Amino acid sequence: MQLSFCPSADFDQLKQALTALEAQNEIHSALVFAADANGWSDEQLNPLLTRSRLTLVGGLFPQIIYQHQAYEQGFVLLALSTPLDWAVIPGLSDPEQDFDAPLEALADAWEASDHEEQAATHLLLVDGLATRIATLIESVFDQFGLAHPHIGGGAGSLSFEQKPCIITPEGLMMDVALLARLPLRASLGVAHGWQPISLPMEVTRAHKNEVHQLNWQPAFQRYQTEIEAHSGQKISADSFFDLAKSYPLGINRLGAELLVRDPLLVKNQSTLVCVGEVPEGALVRLLTGSPASLIEAAGQATLDAERLWQQQNTHDAEITLVIDCISRVLFMGEQINQELAQTGTARPQFGVLSLGEIANAGQDYLAFYNKTIVVGLLGQDKGVTGTTE
């Protein structure tokens, strides 16, 4: 593996970096994580992606991570010495789209492949502003199960305008998911650091990522009452996110940590629009946290990943991949770098600040998270040669 980084939004820098990788015969594919603020268009990227001899997968994200620092511009590349299996799942907001059939065919094909017994980690990247992400995640879990760990997140823009953001060998795409099979071992840790401060509320009416009613009341009115009672501050639809970023919703899960959902905005003065679906009938609680609790959670996720790696491997991991939620940056400000510092300094680190996070540890449910940090330790099979720079 080769890790490289550029803090510049200059598109020529990306072209030069990829040209340098293409000149190395031992390099066959690369992960490309770039910042949305670079302003790169599909007209710029598509010729580069479709004509490259390398298999290029990745996305445009609100920010990127390199060596425990968050960057609003630039890109990071992870070059790999093997080709990648990959697939695009379209129609991520289409209510009629069947995800099970194409994913079942893909799972069967990958299971029958010659390298099935080798290490594999599935990278799952989605358009973070699509409306059926959680449904897709359920289908991925149903078809692939716990055979391999999954890690990934939501690409897109903090403008909350849906636009092409998923990098594929066929070009930059919108409203899709990309699933790629990395020839690497992985151990994952997942934590969020948010704590409940309200009694459970039933989601009495919802559709996809829109919550219409909580306890039979308009969702925003109920949410507004709970927040104002706890914070002593007024919240309105116009100034919603300024205070809402500190008060996500937590969905109760049997035998697992609360699943966080991030309310983004208010629709029609009554509906909460969230990152990710909220199922009707679910019980949710209002959550809050502090920079200290979020930083502590990052340390816990790292410890969990390290512990799992040591249980499953006799050699050390080579690199750390961090998928961290952009709304944690909006909540913590510059303290986000203190959080990233908790993810370990023993190996190179890269990643993204995303619109939602995707993970399972190979031993647990696959889920779409909000306001959560995922720490992934990656490495090749013992005895497989390669370098990390």
8 A C-beta contact, residue 47 and residue 20 = no
| Residues 258 and 250 sit within 8 Å (Cβ to Cβ) | yes
**What pLDDT was estimated at residue 384?**
39
Helices 11-22 and 42-51 cross at an angle (nearest 10°) of 0
Are residues 70 and 97 in contact, defined by beta-carbon separation less than 8 angstroms? Answer: no
- From the list 121, 112, 84, 168, the residue with the least C-alpha distance to 358 is 121
List the structure tokens of 51: 């004509």
For position 340, what pLDDT does the model report? 95
- Judge if pTM exceeds 0.85: yes
Contact by Cβ (8 Å): 320, 348: yes
Residue 115's identity, in one-letter code, is H
Is the alpha carbon torsion for 174, 177, 181, 186 positive or negative?
positive
pLDDT at residue 244, rounded to an integer: 87
DSSP-derived pairing of the beta strands 177-182 and 121-127: antiparallel
For every one of its 389 residues, what pLDDT tens digit does the chain have, with 9 covering 90 and above?
899 999 999 999 999 999 999 999 999 999 999 999 999 999 999 999 999 999 999 999 999 999 999 999 999 999 999 889 999 999 999 999 999 999 999 999 998 775 545 788 999 999 999 999 989 999 999 999 888 899 999 999 999 899 999 999 999 999 999 999 999 999 999 999 999 999 999 999 999 889 999 999 999 999 999 999 998 888 888 888 888 889 999 998 876 778 899 898 899 999 999 888 899 999 999 999 999 999 999 999 999 999 999 998 889 999 999 999 999 999 999 999 999 999 987 899 999 999 999 998 656 788 899 999 999 999 987 643 333 44
Between CA 11 and CA 45 the distance in angstroms is: 9
Task: Please choose, from the candidates 125, 47, 56, the residue with its C-alpha nearest in 3D space to the C-alpha of residue 84.
Answer: 56
Closest Cα to residue 329, out of 376, 367, 302, 295?
295
Q: Which of 55, 352, 34, 371 is nearest to 192 (CA)?
A: 371
Strand partners, 375: 189, 322
**Which tokens is 321 given?**
């991949």
Cα(1)–Cα(4) distance, rounded to whole angstroms? 10
Q: What is the DSSP letter of 170?
A: T
In the prediction, which pLDDT does 255 show? 67
CA angle 237, 283, 301 (to 5 degrees): 90
* Domain boundaries defined on the chain: 2-192+294-379, 196-288
Q: Can you tell me the distance from the alpha carbon of 96 to that of 101, in angstroms, rounded to the nearest whole number?
A: 13
Look at residues 366, 298, 383, 367 and name the one whose alpha carbon lies nearest to residue 332: 298
Tokens encoding 107: 């799972």
Pairing mode, strands 85-89 and 55-61: unpaired
Residue 306 in tokens: 């390290």
Q: How far is CA 44 from the centre of its chain?
A: 24
Measure the CA–CA gap between 263 and 274, rounded to whole angstroms.
4
Taking the C-alpha atoms of residue 229 and residue 201, their distance in angstroms, rounded to an integer, is 15
Express each pLDDT in 247-263 by its tens digit: 999 998 876 778 899 89
Q: Are 128 and 153 in contact (CB under 8 A)?
A: yes
pLDDT at residue 382, as a whole number: 65
